[in-house]
Amino acid sequence: MPSPAPTVAELAERFSLGVRGDATARIRGVGTLANAGKDQLAFLANPRYRGQLDDSTAAAVVMRAADAEGFGGTALVAEDPYTAFAKIAAVFEVVPVRQPGVHPMADIHADAVVDPAAHVGAFSSIGAGSRVEAGAFVGPGCIVGENCVIGAGSELLARVTLVTRVRLGQRVRIHPGAVIGADGFGLAMDAGRWIKVPQLGGVVIGDDCEIGANTCIDRGAIEDTVLEEDVRLDNLIQVGHNVRIGAHTAMAGCVAIAGSARIGRYCMIAGGAGIAGHLEICDRVVVTAMSLVSSSIREPGEYSSGTGLMDNRSWRRNAARFRQLDRMARQLRDQEPKDDTQ
Amino acid sequence: MPSPAPTVAELAERFSLGVRGDATARIRGVGTLANAGKDQLAFLANPRYRGQLDDSTAAAVVMRAADAEGFGGTALVAEDPYTAFAKIAAVFEVVPVRQPGVHPMADIHADAVVDPAAHVGAFSSIGAGSRVEAGAFVGPGCIVGENCVIGAGSELLARVTLVTRVRLGQRVRIHPGAVIGADGFGLAMDAGRWIKVPQLGGVVIGDDCEIGANTCIDRGAIEDTVLEEDVRLDNLIQVGHNVRIGAHTAMAGCVAIAGSARIGRYCMIAGGAGIAGHLEICDRVVVTAMSLVSSSIREPGEYSSGTGLMDNRSWRRNAARFRQLDRMARQLRDQEPKDDTQ
Amino acid sequence: MPSPAPTVAELAERFSLGVRGDATARIRGVGTLANAGKDQLAFLANPRYRGQLDDSTAAAVVMRAADAEGFGGTALVAEDPYTAFAKIAAVFEVVPVRQPGVHPMADIHADAVVDPAAHVGAFSSIGAGSRVEAGAFVGPGCIVGENCVIGAGSELLARVTLVTRVRLGQRVRIHPGAVIGADGFGLAMDAGRWIKVPQLGGVVIGDDCEIGANTCIDRGAIEDTVLEEDVRLDNLIQVGHNVRIGAHTAMAGCVAIAGSARIGRYCMIAGGAGIAGHLEICDRVVVTAMSLVSSSIREPGEYSSGTGLMDNRSWRRNAARFRQLDRMARQLRDQEPKDDTQ
């Protein structure tokens, strides 16, 4: 634990950063480039905000060496300023102290096991056959069903539901409203009515995963739905049954993934994108916002669908022509000079 | 209740299926084609997985007659293997026993009625004028407001909210986090500020409907929002006020339906699709993933919008041209030979 | 409070409306144009429903002067019939009486302050440093974390979560399942693993805002996420960290807004639209359903992206040509007559 007001020099040493300017300034918190006070640290990572640098009143700014050239203030120089800032900001984060123990208004099943070094909050219930390991935190209003495991140091912040057969690794962090392990959407038509396909699998979530608020991850039909380690999901994401998401993949809000899709490692799926079922996406794929992946992707790279935004009048005109596009293409093809090589 | 390890012959007889191969094998569970063990049953329905058939170590596989031709193992032959499998898998499902009764940490309003053969779990509350019928299950953490009905055999799995005036038929199944009967989004502008349009209606949900995790169904403004029988909604779906959804229609995750849309029977709406308000969709319409229905559909069939996925560089080039599409079309039109019949 | 069955004349006077026809009729409730009973009031605002006017059995209908021309029944004439109807309907709304006080099964932290004229329901918890002001209503199953403020007259209907550092103004209304103040999605890559960027800000929500069911509003990374007054958000919306939404802006269900977007006043964002991060949208912008805003909008007006709905066969043909659009455009360009002015 550093002093509550480390100097720039102390931060530079602790986080292996370079310094330009006054290394003796004391830092008492963090702020934005635009609004940081005279004892606060700011950062510059996104070039969009470079214009705010010269007017910044921050005590010091974390930035790349190239941005530090000619900067008149104090710079902490980092190869990746955002990562460096993340680490420094953690120094100033005040985290509420969490006492181990079970709240008197919690409901623990006789066949559940709660480690004495775990916390279970008010109005939470832990079902038969479930286990809460040491250092785990189950906040208020959480429902943990049968046969779940909450690994050491994992956190259900509040009002999280683990339905059944959900196994969390260590240091998993789940935000309020998330529902993990609900029935997959398995239906079969029988004589004009739907019948339910039993969902006999579970959900396995690897170490260091993070699951956003109101995100849903269904349990598998036969085998498990799987998130490998260090997967990061934002809010309001839907993960269908038997999906597998590779380690270190991150997804922004409102992504929807249909059943049995397999997604690689180190992928980045932007907000509102959709991924159809029963396909594969290889490692290191980027999908841009609101794009639909409807077949497998076998090469790393960035992928998109959709059209750009237009004023509505222009859009109407162009969208009307989209309906004629095949006819237009055939007309153009007919105009092409004919030769034997085509 | 069958024996815990029925033979293939016993399953064939019980579910009216054909058999090829060894009918004496005992089945102790179900598995995937790829991973089923020697005492497990698998199925082949999606042709995508046909290549896994020959290597399968399953004791028997449910499949179509055509797929069974030349198959060396044991086949249970079905017209619809997925439906047959769904029924057989239910034999092996272990469902937790649910005792009738009200948990001591539940809060039942003096003017609510809970049938003695119903269950109300911990941290659940039942409001004034509401009724929980025989065999209904209200899991932990559910909030049922005023004047709701939970029909016989219906289940609120956990942490479900019925806000007010929500009537569920029989055998309705609602997954965690769903919110049924919240205010419809009714606003009117008055002197530069929004005022709220009172939402005086309710929600009526027919027998055998299923509502996914974190799905929202708003109550009607004047009349009710209605789901007919056997409607199946996946997770994170938004159903606006006064929508009507016909019997046996199914919708995948993240569909959004604006107010007063009327959707027919036996429709299939794929994930992430959007349906605008005040329109009608006839029976037996399929809408593909992430398509937007912006006007009524009067013919059964499959409908789509959007563009296909491309590598981002190609996409940028083509999307830029979409902005010029009307100009391109006019240029092409000017090139067409003029004649009197046009 | 008017009499429970005001006459048309009394309503006209109270809400400053014109009358045509029988002003003595007594109104005992509201109904739709199609189904209102003989003692109910209906309204006609959307021209789509004009054809139902002549067959309506309503006692009176709120409508524009132009629609009242030649109408044989009783009309309440309003410039904006929907707004007038909204005000009249409120007369007939039955709202459950809410007693001040804290439910015995609520959990109030010793360092929280609940005004004696506020209500806190069953299974709700109020964290350290939080304050519930006079006339505020915290329904059942709500979790309010540390250092939150629930302003006078604000309502958390049921099962709402305010995570931490969330300040609500007065008369804010939040529907079930909403999660306000969860961690923003801030991640930085460090040696091949994600590290978390501390989310040190909060959420500020202005007076008279409404937040829909299962909507998520993340707290800011450094500064606050802000909704100005009278912002209206429907269900299942995602608002990323450090977004700012201007006063009187309304958004329909399933909109997704990435971090640090700044949205103007009096905007209308239709359902399923997406807004990328770090951009600005000026006042009075309308975005149509499922459109993606990927760069700043500086002029008021209506904006769209995407393509129209087609039968799937036509769509496939045209979408295939979209992949060739740049080539088509270049072919067309080559056909243009060359001259010096281009």
Tokens standing for residue A245 = 């998401």
- Let me know: does A68 contact A8? Beta carbons within 8 Å: no
Tokens standing for residue A173 = 């962090």
- Let me know: does B143 contact C158? Beta carbons within 8 Å: yes
- Look at residue B95 in the predicted model and tell me its pLDDT: 84
Query: In the annotation, is B103 catalytic?
Result: no
Partner B contacted by C334 (CB < 8 A)? no
Which residue among B119, B175, B241, B248 is the active-site one?
Answer: B241
Residue B2 has pLDDT above 60, yes or no: no
Antiparallel, parallel or unpaired: β A137-138 and A155-156: parallel
Cα–Cα distances (Å) from C233 to B342, C80, C243, C269, in that order, read 50, 22, 14, 10
Tokens standing for residue A189 = 């038509």
Interface contact flag, C318 A323, Cβ < 8 Å: yes
Beta bridge partners of B304: C310
3-state SS track over chain C: CCCCCCEHHHHHHHCCCEEECCCCCECCEECCCCCCCCCEEEECCCHHHHHHCCCCCCCEEEECHHHHCCCCCCEEECCCHHHHHHHHHHHCCCCCCCCCEECCCCEECCCCEECCCCEECCCCEECCCCEECCCCEECCCCEEEECCEECCCCEECCCCEEEECEEECCCCEECCCCEEEECCCCEEEECCEEEECCCCCCEEECCCCEECCCCEEECCCCCCEEECCCCEECCCCEECCCCEECCCCEECCCCEECCCCEECCCCEECCCCEECCCCEECCCEEECCCCEECCCECCCEEEECCCCCEEHHHHHHHHHHHCCHHHHHHHHHHHCCCCCCC
Partner A contacted by B96 (CB < 8 A)? yes
- Look at residue C47 in the predicted model and tell me its pLDDT: 87
CA distance A157 to A141: 9
Tokens standing for residue C231 = 């912002």
Interface contact flag, B86 A125, Cβ < 8 Å: no
- Look at residue C70 in the predicted model and tell me its pLDDT: 86
Q: Span B226-253, mean pLDDT? A: 98
- B-chain CB neighbours of A163 within 8 Å are 157-158, 175-176
Q: How confident is the model at residue B3 (pLDDT cuts 50, 70, 90)?
A: very low
B-chain residue closest to C45, CA distance: B188
Token look-up 């579970």 returns: A202
Burial B29-50 (b: 16+ CB within 10 A, else e): bbbbbeebeeebbbbbbeeebe
Of B87, B175, B329, the CB nearest to A324: B329
- Let me know: does B223 contact C35? Beta carbons within 8 Å: yes
CA distance B284 to B292: 17
Report the half-sphere exposure of B182 (CA within 13 A, side-chain side): 35
Tokens standing for residue B156 = 């609120």
Tell me the per-residue pLDDT of B254-302, one tens digit each, with 9 for 90 and over: 999 999 999 999 999 999 999 999 999 999 999 999 999 999 999 999 9
**Which string of DSSP letters, residue by residue, matches B60-74?**
EEEE-HHHHTT--S-
Residue B227 has pLDDT above 80, yes or no: yes
Q: How many CB atoms lie within 10 A of CB C337?
A: 5
Q: Residue B338 has what DSSP assignment?
A: P
Cα–Cα distances (Å) from A13 to A60, A71, A93, A169, B322, in that order, read 15, 21, 20, 33, 53
- Look at residue A109 in the predicted model and tell me its pLDDT: 97
- Let me know: does B123 contact C123? Beta carbons within 8 Å: yes
Chain C: give the shortest CA distance to residue A178, in Å. 10
Distance from chain centroid for Cα A318: 36
Interface contact flag, A93 C198, Cβ < 8 Å: yes
Mean pLDDT, chain C, as a whole number?
95
Q: How confident is the model at residue C232 (pLDDT cuts 50, 70, 90)?
A: very high
Token look-up 């045509």 returns: C20
Provide the CATH number for the domain formed by C101-303 in this structure.
2.160.10.10
**Domain extents for chain B?**
8-91, 160-303
Tokens standing for residue C187 = 């991640």
Chain B: give the shortest CA distance to residue C294, in Å. 13
Tell me the per-residue pLDDT of C143-159, one tens digit each, with 9 for 90 and over: 999 999 999 999 999 99
Closest to C182 measured CA to CA, from A251, A61, A236 = A236
Q: Span C92-120, mean pLDDT? A: 95
More confident call, C69 vs A257: A257
Interface contact flag, A303 B310, Cβ < 8 Å: yes
- Look at residue B342 in the predicted model and tell me its pLDDT: 43
User: Residue C94, exposed/middle/buried by CB under 10 A (0-12, 13-18, 19+)?
Assistant: exposed
Partner A contacted by B325 (CB < 8 A)? yes
- Look at residue A97 in the predicted model and tell me its pLDDT: 82
Q: Span C78-102, mean pLDDT? A: 93
Please name the amino acid found at residue A131: R
Closest to A177 measured CA to CA, from C204, C125, B236 = B236
- Look at residue C96 in the predicted model and tell me its pLDDT: 81
Chain B: give the shortest CA distance to residue A154, in Å. 21
Q: Residue A174 has what DSSP assignment?
A: E
CA distance C27 to A280: 61
Burial C127-161 (b: 16+ CB within 10 A, else e): bebbbbbebbbbbbbbbbbbbbbbbbbbbbbbbbb
Q: Residue B54 has what DSSP assignment?
A: T
Residue B14 has pLDDT above 90, yes or no: yes
Tokens standing for residue C276 = 């990328």
- Look at residue B340 in the predicted model and tell me its pLDDT: 54
**Which string of DSSP letters, residue by residue, matches A130-147?**
-EE-TT-EE-TT-EEEES
Partner B contacted by A139 (CB < 8 A)? no
Antiparallel, parallel or unpaired: β C75-77 and C60-63: parallel
Q: How confident is the model at residue C98 (pLDDT cuts 50, 70, 90)?
A: confident
- A-chain CB neighbours of C240 within 8 Å are 253
User: Residue C68, exposed/middle/buried by CB under 10 A (0-12, 13-18, 19+)?
Assistant: buried
- Let me know: does C151 contact C133? Beta carbons within 8 Å: yes
CA distance B304 to C9: 51
ipTM value, please give it: 0.96
Interface contact flag, C271 B256, Cβ < 8 Å: yes
Antiparallel, parallel or unpaired: β C310-311 and B301-304: antiparallel
Q: How confident is the model at residue B172 (pLDDT cuts 50, 70, 90)?
A: very high
Q: Starting from the edge strand earliest in sequence, which strands make up the sheet with C75-77, in order? A: C18-20, C75-77, C60-63, C40-43, C29-30
Sequence-separated (6 or more) residues with CB below 8 Å from residue C281: C261, C262, C263, C264, C267, C275, C287, C293, C296, C297
CA distance C179 to C170: 18
- B-chain CB neighbours of A288 within 8 Å are 312
Tokens standing for residue A220 = 């598998």
Q: Running along chain A, 342 residues long, what does each successive block of 10 average in pLDDT? A: 78 96 94 94 92 94 94 95 96 88 97 98 98 98 98 98 98 98 97 96 98 98 97 98 98 98 98 98 98 98 97 97 95 78 48
CA dihedral in degrees (C242, C246, C251, C254; nearest 10)?
A: 0
CA distance A316 to A311: 9
- B-chain CB neighbours of C248 within 8 Å are 192-194
Q: How confident is the model at residue B94 (pLDDT cuts 50, 70, 90)?
A: confident
Mean pLDDT, chain B, as a whole number?
95
Tokens standing for residue C210 = 């409404």
Chain C: give the shortest CA distance to residue A19, in Å. 20
Chain A: give the shortest CA distance to residue B273, in Å. 10
- Look at residue A270 in the predicted model and tell me its pLDDT: 98
One CATH from 2.160.10.10, 3.40.50.1820, 3.40.640.10, 2.60.120.380 for B160-303 = 2.160.10.10
Interface contact flag, A163 B140, Cβ < 8 Å: no
More confident call, B54 vs A338: B54
Partner B contacted by C48 (CB < 8 A)? yes
- Look at residue B97 in the predicted model and tell me its pLDDT: 82
Provide the CATH number for the domain formed by C8-91 in this structure.
3.40.1390.10
Tell me the per-residue pLDDT of A171-224, one tens digit each, with 9 for 90 and over: 999 999 999 999 999 999 999 999 999 999 999 999 999 999 999 999 999 999
